[in-house]
Each structure stands twice: as C-alpha cells, then as structure tokens.
Chains A and B, each alone.
Chain A
Amino acid sequence: ETGVTQTPRHLVMGMTNKKSLKCEQHLGHNAMYWYKQSAKKPLELMFVYSLEERVENNSVPSRFSPECPNSSHLFLHLHTLQPEDSALYLCASSQDFDGLVNEQFFGPGTRLTVL
C-alpha cells in the first residue's frame, strides 16, 4: 500500500452525468496531483495542488474541475464528459520541499468509462 487511496475504482457514466472522483492520502504530504492515462499514452499531468492551492493546470478542459478542501483530500468533479475522456485517472501526493527531490506516491487509479 502506498498510503494513497482512490474511490471509486471503476466508474461508468453517461455524457450528461455529473460524478466525482475522490483521492485521500494518509502520508502527511502537502502536495497532490491528478494524472490521466489514456491507452498507449504516458501518464499526463492534469492538475497540481500545493498547500491546498492550485499551482498547475495543464490546459485541461473545464469539464474537469478539481477541488482540494484540505491537504489530505483531492477531488475531481466531472460533468458533460466525452467518450474520449475514458481513461485511468491517477492521484498522487508528495511532500513539497524546496530544493529537494520530491518523490510522488500514487493511488491505484479510477478506471473511467464515458458512454
């Protein structure tokens, strides 16, 4: 176990649905990340939160809306998704130290299918 949990593990939704992915880290870290992995592609960074503030938005469409209410929890709110958004969504966390290499710890991911 990496100390990062994600729910649900699998999600099937229609294009008009609204759903949320949840991530929780039990490591005392201060930075959290959302990644997307589509088939045959590398992990792509979507969002970065550091000290509960969004510090990176990697040109992600507005139908993906992240929320970080505290340093242990991260959500990804989904609405009016497209079938091409079907992918594995991974959450990660790290302890953000200036000047030091920060190792990221990953959750197991949510497999999302958009019909």
Chain B
Amino acid sequence: ILNVEQSPQSLHVQEGDSTNFTCSFPSSNFYALHWYRWETAKSPEALFVMTLNGDEKKKGRISATLNTKEGYSYLYIKGSQPEDSATYLCAFDYGGATNKLIFGTGTLLAVQP
C-alpha cells in the first residue's frame, strides 16, 4: 500500500514568520511529486510539480525541495501572510497508465495578522 504522510497536520504562525512542512512518500517507483494549495471553499490549486532528485522550485515566497532517494519533499513559506492560510497538499505520482495520484492528508496553515 502506497502511503503519503504530511507533517505537521496543522500549524499556526504569526504574520511575517517563515515556516515549512514535510511530505514523505515511497522512495521506489517515483515519477513526480505534486504540491497543491487549497483554500477553504475553493479548488485545490497546483503549486509545483517536481520530478528530479534535488529539484528546487520557487513561486514568490513559496519554495519546495525534493529528495527522491530518501522519499521526502519540503515546502517553505518565507514571511507568511494571512492570505497564505490554506491547506497544503502533496501527492505522489508513480506514473502508470492512469495518472493516479496518492494524496497526503495535508497541512493546515493558519497565519494570524
């Protein structure tokens, strides 16, 4: 059974704090790792798709790293803002014919002004 773990489950930070979360996934049969940002009552929005070991991607204040050999990815948010409040999901993609994604339960981030 493929398992994707995210930690912490939830996080409360003050505006301006920097923070990071972890996604752990199987280190075998790796194809890609997806990060999504999901605000309440909205659609999950794709942040990054990461495929290469050692990859680092950045979008504004948010960045992510990937270690496929040990099976983890970190998501960093620098200088958190209240609008960063959302659930951050990671999904393990092992390729295959039907593009199945195995999701973690997410990290719920609350940024207080």
Chain A contacts to B: CB under 8 angstroms: 1-2, 4, 31, 40-45, 48, 50, 55-56, 90, 94, 96, 101-109
Contact = CB atoms under 8 A, between A and B. Distances in A.
Contacts of A50: 98
Interface of B: 4, 31-32, 34, 36, 41-46, 49, 51, 89, 91, 93, 97-106
A108 B105 contact: no
B105 A40 contact: yes
Contact of B99 (A31, A42, A43): A31
Residue among B101, B102, B103, B105 having the largest count of chain A Cβ atoms under 10 Å: B101
A56 to B, nearest CB: 5
Nearest to A31: B99
A2 B100 contact: no
A33 to B, nearest CB: 8
Given A101-B32, A101-B51, A108-B41, A96 B99 contact: yes
Contacts of A41: 105
B94 to A, nearest CB: 11
Contacts of B102: 42
A108 B99 contact: no
Most chain-B Cβ atoms within 10 A of its Cβ — which of A45, A90, A94? A45
A71 B51 CA distance: 27
Contacts of A2: 43, 45
B43 A45 contact: no
B103 A48 contact: no
A96 B99 CA distance: 8
A104 B43 contact: no
